[in-house]
Chain A
Amino acid sequence: MLDIKNLHVKVAGGGEEILKGLSLCIPAGEVHAIMGPNGTGKSTLANVLAGREGYEITSGSVCYEGEDLLALSPEERAAKGIFLSFQYPVEIPGVPAMTFLRAALNAQRERRGEEPLSAPEFMKLVREKAALLKIKPDMLKRPLNVGFSGGEKKRMEILQMAVLAPRFAILDETDSGLDIDALKIVAQGVNALRAPDRSMLVITHYQRLLDYITPDRVHVMAGGRIVKSGGPELARQLEAEGYDAYAESAA
């Protein structure tokens, strides 16, 4: 589904190279995890895949379902099913979560040539998904992420993912700032979305999220590239041994 080949990325305007020849292939229906120390380029990878401005791709390619992903605008990528659960979800003052989500969903549908969802259809869909994530209806009426706790923000990200039903979801440090109960709810939400035609890339610093979301593959990222790949057991090994062993291979 997603094939990243030898990707080199630096900050636009002549910054230092962050991704240094990263390659990664994620087949349809699989959940892959990327682990690694801070500052190794995990979030840059997430941002580049979602199309954030401010990066310069110096070489390499990203092929998404046979298409050049890097040639698309962020909103085109979103309509084609790319979803990023933000590490730090942004506050949108004055725009109720429900309003935001409906605008987003219908913008995507319009771009895909689909009819917009009517208000009742939309409400039904959101309520159903919100219940699963234990999100109270009154939270949906509040301006998106404004005054939300860390856990509420992350649950709201997963709700958006559930409603938008992406083909390829990137979860950037979705576990950070979550207590164990919130972590379980979020993991449950993510697991409910696992499907044969949907892939996910879970970016995390710690093993604990992977106790609840069992990945098909685990990759260790260091120094701007993937330095080791393995099965779920690799995550546990990392938790025990730390990232020190990979610091050298990155250098």
Chain B
Amino acid sequence: MDGAKDSIDRSTLAAARALEADKYKYGFTTDVEQEFAPKGLNEDVIRFISAKKGEPQWLLDWRLAAYKRWLTMEEPAWAMVHYPKIDYQDMYYFAAPKKEGSGPKSLDEIDPDILATYDKLGIPLKEQEVLLGVEGAPKVAVDAVFDSVSVATTFREELARSGVIFSSFSEAVKEHPDLVRQYLGSVVPPTDNYFATLNSAVFSDGTFVYIPKGVRCPMELSTYFRMNAQSTGQFERTLIIADEGAYVSYLEGCTAPMRDENQLHAAVVELVALDDAEIKYSTVQNWWPGDENGQGGVYNFVTKRGDCRGARSHISWTQVETGSAITWKYPSCILRGDDSQGEFYSVAITNGAQQADTGTKMIHLGKNTRSRIISKGISAGRSNNTYRGLVSVHKKAKGARNFTQCDSLLVGGQCGAHTVPYVEVKTPDAQLEHEATTTKLSEEQLFYCRQRGLDAEEATALLVNGFARDVLQNLPMEFAVEAQALVKVSLEGSVG
């Protein structure tokens, strides 16, 4: 049996070595004329970004304050990720596809290269493609972010009829300045952490969603992010507000083209749920992970936080993380309202030389607040996968409850899985449960599947999808199928 295990380990090692850059299916670039901000970061660059977007003075001041703060901060080093020092002066902070005249009036006016890029990614950008879908199929509205500027938005009108605002961040600043000003930075303050503060200073664009009182958003909202300009950091800003009794499900998915230089991505996502509101936020992240040595992959330092501000509000994060060279990401919930609920469902797959340090924070402030954490980490190749989670129950959070389940699966013998749970409880009647398991993909299971006709890769994908099922089931239908396919693609080359 040891012999069998060794041979699997050896073949995993060999496969990991063979993991080549060209395996990355979505590694292509689109040649679109860019309008860059000058390289490097200083107040002038921030003024350039703000002027380019025609922002009001208060927002420029907000950015500049964040920048001043950022200069005094240090890059965090506590996560279990290792990467060369980032030179923040050696990158561009703004790039937008050049517009002719006042900008595109319809999809016909959009650079065909951009549309072709989306086509390759299978994104239903054209309204007509969605309309041609199966009768009764759920409609998906796409706010496509091409590099830093939203190039097209669909389904606006139908959403507008129900009072839903779904627009690029820049547009929201122009059209709904009061809403933006009221909520921006109210969940992730500009002083929050190194990467969030950097984002606050230089964020280029992103998505804004507002669901009015009592409205159930009539469709799943979806944004596909795609980094495209060489050496351009991506600093997306997303703000979603569900007013009292509102409901919205939001999908975020991304792929990135192949790169030689590392790309920094430091997004901020803020969710606000008022009384009885519910926000479901799903992510499929498939950015370029780099070559077999992790060279050239995306550095993904993201701050995502939801504020269950109202009583009985509910925020649910579901993420499938398969890409990036480095993932540093902790979608969290502040359970402020009494009886509010937070959930975190995560599948994180690392292969090759990828490093992921991801998890969540559940901050229980209100009475009878409940949280649930289901984390499935899969490590293959020579990768390292860390779950890092905090459950904090404050003094006033009487009757708070948490359930945490962290499962790790090892594929081969060269990878690492780590679980780092933090717990802080300041009220005596809180109930916390924590379960954790670490298992290795067994030779018995693989052989069983292969005996039935599946090859080693199909078998691994099937077993890993089974392992992650509790989480994948939480994804909206549109994403579930894509996610399962992605699990397979992500594990390519992980078994002999």
- The answer to whether A binds B is yes
Write the residues of chain A forming the contact surface with B, with a CB cutoff of 8 angstroms.
Answer: 11-13, 15, 50-54, 73-75, 77-79, 83-84, 86, 89-95, 100-101, 103-105, 107-108, 111, 143, 160, 164
**A103 CA to B455 CA, complexed, in Å:** 11
Q: Which of A13, A74, A100 contacts B462 (CB 8 A)?
A: A100
Known: A13-B3, A54-B3. A75 touches B453 (CB 8 A): yes
Known: A94-B467, A143-B466. A78 touches B452 (CB 8 A): yes
Closest beta carbon of chain B to A145's beta carbon, Å: 9
Please tell me if B139 contacts chain A, counting CB pairs below 8 Å: no
Chain B hits for A108, CB < 8 A: 452-453
Closest beta carbon of chain B to A203's beta carbon, Å: 15
Question: Is A95 in contact with B451, judged by CB distance below 8 angstroms?
Answer: no
Q: Which of B1, B449, B452, B462 contacts A164 (CB 8 A)?
A: B452
Please tell me if B55 contacts chain A, counting CB pairs below 8 Å: no
**A89 CA to B447 CA, complexed, in Å:** 11
**A79 CA to B450 CA, complexed, in Å:** 10
CB-CB nearest in chain B for A145: B448
- List 8 additional contacts besides A86-B451, A107-B454; criterion CB under 8 Å: A12-B4, A13-B2, A53-B4, A53-B443, A75-B450, A93-B466, A95-B462, A101-B452
**A93 CA to B452 CA, complexed, in Å:** 16
Please tell me if B186 contacts chain A, counting CB pairs below 8 Å: no
Closest beta carbon of chain B to A77's beta carbon, Å: 8
Please tell me if B445 contacts chain A, counting CB pairs below 8 Å: yes
Q: Which of A13, A73, A78, A94 contacts B465 (CB 8 A)?
A: A94
**A167 CA to B451 CA, complexed, in Å:** 14
**A79 CA to B452 CA, complexed, in Å:** 8
Closest beta carbon of chain A to B442's beta carbon, Å: 8
> Contact flags (1/0) for B442-482 with A, using CB distance below 8 Å?
11110111111111101000110111111000000000000
Q: Which of B3, B451, B452 contacts A11 (CB 8 A)?
A: B3
Chain A hits for B454, CB < 8 A: 75, 103-104, 107
Q: Which of B449, B456, B468 contacts A94 (CB 8 A)?
A: B468
Chain A hits for B33, CB < 8 A: none
Question: Is A94 in contact with B450, judged by CB distance below 8 angstroms?
Answer: no
CB-CB nearest in chain B for A143: B466
Q: How many residues of B contact A (CB 8 A)?
A: 30
Write the residues of chain B forming the contact surface with A, with a CB cutoff of 8 angstroms.
Answer: 1-4, 6-8, 442-445, 447-456, 458, 462-463, 465-470
**A241 CA to B8 CA, complexed, in Å:** 44
CB-CB nearest in chain A for B452: A104
Chain B hits for A104, CB < 8 A: 449, 452-454
**A209 CA to B214 CA, complexed, in Å:** 66
Chain A hits for B2, CB < 8 A: 13
Question: Is B452 in contact with A95, judged by CB distance below 8 angstroms?
Answer: no
**A86 CA to B452 CA, complexed, in Å:** 11
Question: Is A54 in contact with B445, judged by CB distance below 8 angstroms?
Answer: no
Known: A53-B4, A79-B453, A100-B462. A92 touches B447 (CB 8 A): no
**A51 CA to B454 CA, complexed, in Å:** 13
Chain A hits for B450, CB < 8 A: 51, 73-75, 78
Closest beta carbon of chain B to A48's beta carbon, Å: 12
Question: Is A54 in contact with B1, judged by CB distance below 8 angstroms?
Answer: yes
Known: A74-B450, A90-B445, A107-B454. A54 touches B466 (CB 8 A): no
**A90 CA to B449 CA, complexed, in Å:** 9
Question: Is A107 in contact with B458, judged by CB distance below 8 angstroms?
Answer: yes
**A111 CA to B453 CA, complexed, in Å:** 9
Q: Which of A13, A50, A75, A93 contacts B467 (CB 8 A)?
A: A93
CB-CB nearest in chain B for A82: B451
The 8 closest A-B pairs by CB, nearest first: A94-B466, A54-B4, A13-B3, A94-B469, A95-B466, A104-B452, A108-B453, A74-B450
Closest beta carbon of chain B to A106's beta carbon, Å: 8
Question: Is B462 in contact with A103, judged by CB distance below 8 angstroms?
Answer: yes
**A105 CA to B8 CA, complexed, in Å:** 25
**A84 CA to B449 CA, complexed, in Å:** 11
Closest beta carbon of chain B to A138's beta carbon, Å: 17
Question: Is B455 in contact with A75, judged by CB distance below 8 angstroms?
Answer: yes
Chain B hits for A52, CB < 8 A: 447, 451
**A73 CA to B444 CA, complexed, in Å:** 15
Known: A12-B4, A13-B3, A51-B451. A90 touches B458 (CB 8 A): no
Chain B hits for A51, CB < 8 A: 450-451
Closest beta carbon of chain A to B215's beta carbon, Å: 36
CB-CB nearest in chain B for A90: B448
Closest beta carbon of chain A to B407's beta carbon, Å: 10
Question: Is B463 in contact with A92, judged by CB distance below 8 angstroms?
Answer: yes
Chain B hits for A164, CB < 8 A: 452-453
